[in-house]
């Protein structure tokens, strides 16, 4: 409600420019009417600091030059005080204005470079997550390819008979087409995740999207003997989010769960539980629970910090990526111990649900 009452960015900038102009006029009057010993012009630095936040570098430079010009004019119009003291104060004020503008622009440039670097690192994190799934992806793609080869040989045999068994050959061709489409869908999902495409909200079945990621992870799960258990509430509405990004979140959490079970070593039942709930009318919650080593409080405090990882080969960006993507949809990601008191950890993801009355 409050956000909808805020004026547009262009109007806000105009209001801020007006406020800065009034502030500069007030500083000019104060600097002119007081004695040389009062260096009121130095307060122009506050104007520069505000301008750096809202305006382009060129506008900030122009504003800094205007402040310097006002300082020089004010020095010439000042009626009282020691001239030598005023000359020193004017020089100091001009120097302060110039340094403030320079450092402010440098700070903004550094922030822009940091944001660009973070975006690039998140893209690398996506590729790294996909790299960790390489074996499972190959397993998932090889299954339909092997089925295509088998059905192709069967089709050849049916056609080679005398007379040819056209009906059974046609059935084999249908299986080939279905398996080819399944392999194509796997490749399409991988390509979309690797591109890091901009979020595109759509309605989709959250459970189906999560099952797709479990299928991609099937090779890693089977190699470690990890069972996957589902606990989905009935009648869940569709999710309203970017399906590819949600699948990236689920894929990252599945990889972390597999690593946690690996670290825990033998003992207990290696399993991952995927739960889906509807905590609110416009909210869905997905939970990935593992039977790993659990969460130490010292570790839990830093789980979502960038470049912090408990893995020797980890980049520390997987959970940071999950959090940024969830928050971009108005959701969040958090970690907690298992609710049943057993060893392990639970990672929860909240996402927007499609409203019941939405088209």
pLDDT of 228-254, one tens digit each? 999 998 889 999 888 877 887 888 888
pLDDT at 298: 63
Identify the residue whose tokens are 């709930």. 277
pLDDT at 2: 40
Q: Whole-angstrom Cα distance, residue 65 to residue 71?
A: 10
Would you place residue 284 in the very low, low, confident or very high pLDDT band (cuts 50, 70, 90)? very high
Q: Whole-angstrom Cα distance, residue 156 to residue 168?
A: 10
Would you place residue 4 in the very low, low, confident or very high pLDDT band (cuts 50, 70, 90)? very low
Mean pLDDT in residue range 86-106: 90
pLDDT at 359: 46
Question: Is the Cβ–Cβ distance between 36 and 85 less than 8 Å?
Answer: yes
Identify the residue whose tokens are 């074996």. 135
pLDDT at 41: 87
The percentage of the chain sitting over the pLDDT mark of 90, rounded to a whole number, equals 15
Q: Whole-angstrom Cα distance, residue 280 to residue 350?
A: 10
Its pTM stands at: 0.50
- pLDDT over 90 at 85, yes or no: no
Residue 230's DSSP bridge partners are 274
Would you place residue 311 in the very low, low, confident or very high pLDDT band (cuts 50, 70, 90)? low
pLDDT at 185: 67
Question: Is the Cβ–Cβ distance between 310 and 251 less than 8 Å?
Answer: no
- pLDDT over 50 at 171, yes or no: yes
> Which residues have CB under 8 Å from 352's CB, separation 6+?
239, 240, 241, 282, 283, 284, 329, 330, 331
Would you place residue 26 in the very low, low, confident or very high pLDDT band (cuts 50, 70, 90)? very high
Q: Whole-angstrom Cα distance, residue 214 to residue 244?
A: 14
Residue 272's DSSP bridge partners are 228, 290
Question: pLDDT digits over 118-141, tens only?
Answer: 666 666 666 655 555 555 556 556
How many Cα atoms are found within 13 Å in the side-chain-facing hemisphere of 267?
Answer: 8
- pLDDT over 80 at 76, yes or no: yes
The percentage of the chain sitting over the pLDDT mark of 70, rounded to a whole number, equals 77
- pLDDT over 90 at 287, yes or no: yes
Question: Is the Cβ–Cβ distance between 282 and 353 less than 8 Å?
Answer: yes
- CA neighbor of 213 nearest in space, from 274, 271, 293: 274
- pLDDT over 70 at 11, yes or no: yes
Question: Is the Cβ–Cβ distance between 219 and 292 less than 8 Å?
Answer: no
The mean pLDDT of the chain is: 79
Question: Is the Cβ–Cβ distance between 276 and 206 less than 8 Å?
Answer: yes
Q: Quick one: three-class SS letters along the chain?
A: CHHHHCCCHHHHHHHHHHHHHHHHHHHHHHHHHCCCCCCHHHHHHHHHHHHHHHCCHHHHHHHHHHHHHHHHHHHHHCCCCCHHHHHHHHHHHHHHHHHHHHHHHHHHHHHHHHHHHHHHHHHHHHHHHHHHCHHHHHHHHHHHHHHHHHHHHHHHHHHHCCCCCHHHHHHHHHHHHHHHHHHHHHHHHHHHHHHCCCCCCEEECHHHHHHHHHHHCHHHHHHCCCEEEEEECCCCCCEEECHHHHHHHHHHHHHHHHHHHHHHCCCCCCEEEEEEEEEECCEEEEEEEECCCCCCHHHHCCCCCCCCCCCCCCCCCHHHHHHHHHHHCCCEEEEEECCCCCCCEEEEEEEEECCCCCC
Lowest mean pLDDT among 127-136, 197-206, 231-240, 279-288: 127-136
Q: Whole-angstrom Cα distance, residue 207 to residue 209?
A: 5
Domains of the chain: 2-128 (no CATH), 135-195 (1.10.287), 202-352 (3.30.565.10)
pLDDT at 198: 59
CA distances from 215 to 67, 221, 254, 334 (A): 64, 9, 11, 24
Instruction: For Cα atoms 191, 326, 349, give the angle at the middle one, nearest 5 degrees.
Output: 105
pLDDT at 343: 82
- pLDDT over 80 at 189, yes or no: no
Structure token digits, residue 310: 């408990």
């Amino acid at each position: 409600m409050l956000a909808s009452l805020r004026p547009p960015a262009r109007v806000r900038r105009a209001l801020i420019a007006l406020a800065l102009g009034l502030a500069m006029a007030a500083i000019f009057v104060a600097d002119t009417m007081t004695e040389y010993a009062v260096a009121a012009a130095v307060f122009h630095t506050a104007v520069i600091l505000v301008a750096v936040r809202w305006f382009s570098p060129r506008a900030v430079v122009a504003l800094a030059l205007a402040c310097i010009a006002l300082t020089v004019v004010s020095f010439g119009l000042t009626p009282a005080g020691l001239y030598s003291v005023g000359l020193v104060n004017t020089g100091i004020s001009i120097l302060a204005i110039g340094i403030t503008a320079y450092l402010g622009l440098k700070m903004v440039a550094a922030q822009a470079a940091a944001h660009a670097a973070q975006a690039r690192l998140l893209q690398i994190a996506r590729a790294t997550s996909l790299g960790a799934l390489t074996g499972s992806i190959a397993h998932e793609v090889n299954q339909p390819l092997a089925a295509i080869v088998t059905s192709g040989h069967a089709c050849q045999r049916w056609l080679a008979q005398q007379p040819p068994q056209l009906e059974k050959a046609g059935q084999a061709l249908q299986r080939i087409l279905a398996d080819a489409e399944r392999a194509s869908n796997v490749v399409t999902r991988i390509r979309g995740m690797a591109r890091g495409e901009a979020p595109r909200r759509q309605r989709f079945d959250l459970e189906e999207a999560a099952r797709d990621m479990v299928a991609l992870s099937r090779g890693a799960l089977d190699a470690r003997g990890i069972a996957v258990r589902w606990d989905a509430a009935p009648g869940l509405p569709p999710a309203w989010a970017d399906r590819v990004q949600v699948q990236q979140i689920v894929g990252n959490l599945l990889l972390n769960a597999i690593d946690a079970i690996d670290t825990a070593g033998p003992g207990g039942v290696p399993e991952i539980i995927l739960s889906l709930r509807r905590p609110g009318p416009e909210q869905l919650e997905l939970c990935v629970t593992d039977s790993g080593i659990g969460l130490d409080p010292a570790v839990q405090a830093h789980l979502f910090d960038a470049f912090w990882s408990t893995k020797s080969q980890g980049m520390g960006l997987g959970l940071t990526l999950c959090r940024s993507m969830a928050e971009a949809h108005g959701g969040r990601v958090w970690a907690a111990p298992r609710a049943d008191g057993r060893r392990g950890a639970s990672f929860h993801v909240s996402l927007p649900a499609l409203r019941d009355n939405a088209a």
